């Protein structure tokens, strides 16, 4: 099985409720009909009231959705790619490898107990990361996997962490990106409060900033607050 993620960009003033209705009401059923499984949808809809830690700057078409699913083979998934690619002003698909680094209830919080298609509690941040240009690809991955991932688990109140490493773009001319990170958080208040976001310890903030700056290209980092909808 292979995992595909679509990064969907849409105008900032698109109504959040209308946006959610289109994606959940049209795209998800079409994906399931095309044979996709384990569909997950992350939306900048009217269920979130904050922009996120590193939203797109003014003048850049913002990320409004990340649609992920599994197929037997990405090069034989034309119907699924068409279904998920039917929304947004820009829609780029990527083949990724997934690491479910920590799940609900594994490190913090309660195990998942809500139904498919129901909005997950709290919120997620979807981060688009790029390799620090000072690092070669292998060193970047080792630093990201062996240091950044476990360190961030220790210093932040994260409920779930899904690390997606981009293998290659599927869409011609797709915006380059090295990784797509989906992190779940208890509340908007925690994400908006820099101290609470680091377990109330300013020292944790310093450790996090040093690590992020070593690992990623900070000028290209985007991290957007979204609602999450999971499907079997």
The radius of gyration of the chain from alpha carbons, rounded to an integer in Å, stands at 17
Computed from CA positions of residues 154, 158, 159, 162, in that sequence, does the dihedral angle turn out positive or negative?
Answer: negative
Burial 200-219 (b: 16+ CB within 10 A, else e): eeeebbebbeebbeebbbee
pLDDT of residue 59: 86
pTM attached to this predicted model? 0.96
Alpha carbons 166 and 92: distance in angstroms, whole number: 12
**What digits encode the pLDDT tens for the residues 79-112?**
999 999 999 999 999 999 999 999 999 989 999 9
**What digits encode the pLDDT tens for the residues 202-218?**
899 999 999 999 999 99
Centroid of chain to Cα 132: 19
Report all structural domains of the chain as residue ranges with CATH numbers, in order of start: 2-230 (3.30.70.100)
Pairing type for strands 160-169 and 90-102 reads antiparallel
Q: How many CB atoms lie within 10 A of CB 226?
A: 22
Pairing type for strands 2-9 and 37-43 reads unpaired
Q: Are 162 and 98 in contact (CB under 8 A)?
A: yes
Band of pLDDT at residue 231, cut at 50, 70 and 90: very high
The pair phi, psi for residue 122, each rounded to 5°, is 70, -130
- Please return the burial class of 33, using the count of CB atoms within 10 Å of its CB with bins 0-12, 13-18 and 19+: exposed
Q: How many CB atoms lie within 10 A of CB 172?
A: 6
pLDDT(39) > 90: yes
Helical spans, DSSP H, in 13-170: 16-22, 28-33, 78-84, 137-143, 149-155
pLDDT of residue 107: 86
């Amino acid at each position: 099985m292979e995992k595909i993620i679509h990064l969907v960009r849409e105008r900032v003033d698109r109504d959040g409720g209308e946006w959610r209705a289109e994606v959940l009401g049209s795209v998800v059923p079409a994906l399931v009909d095309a044979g996709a499984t384990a569909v997950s949808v992350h939306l900048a809809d009217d269920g979130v009231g904050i922009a996120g830690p590193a939203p797109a700057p003014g003048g850049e078409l913002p990320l409004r959705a990340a649609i992920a699913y599994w197929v037997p083979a990405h090069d034989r998934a034309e119907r699924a790619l068409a279904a998920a690619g039917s929304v947004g002003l820009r829609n780029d698909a990527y083949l990724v490898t997934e690491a479910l680094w920590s799940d609900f209830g594994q490190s913090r919080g309660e195990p998942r107990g809500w139904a498919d298609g129901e909005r997950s509690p709290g919120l997620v941040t979807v981060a688009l990361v790029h390799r620090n240009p000072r690092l070669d690809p292998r060193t970047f991955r080792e630093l990201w996997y062996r240091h950044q991932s476990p360190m961030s688990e220790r210093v932040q109140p994260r409920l779930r962490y899904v690390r997606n490493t981009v293998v290659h773009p599927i869409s011609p001319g797709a915006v380059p990106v090295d990784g797509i990170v989906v992190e779940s958080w208890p509340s908007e208040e925690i994400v908006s409060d820099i101290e609470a976001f680091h377990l109330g310890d300013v020292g944790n903030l310093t450790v996090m900033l040093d690590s992020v700056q070593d690992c990623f290209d900070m000028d290209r980092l985007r991290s957007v607050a979204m609602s999450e909808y999971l499907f079997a």
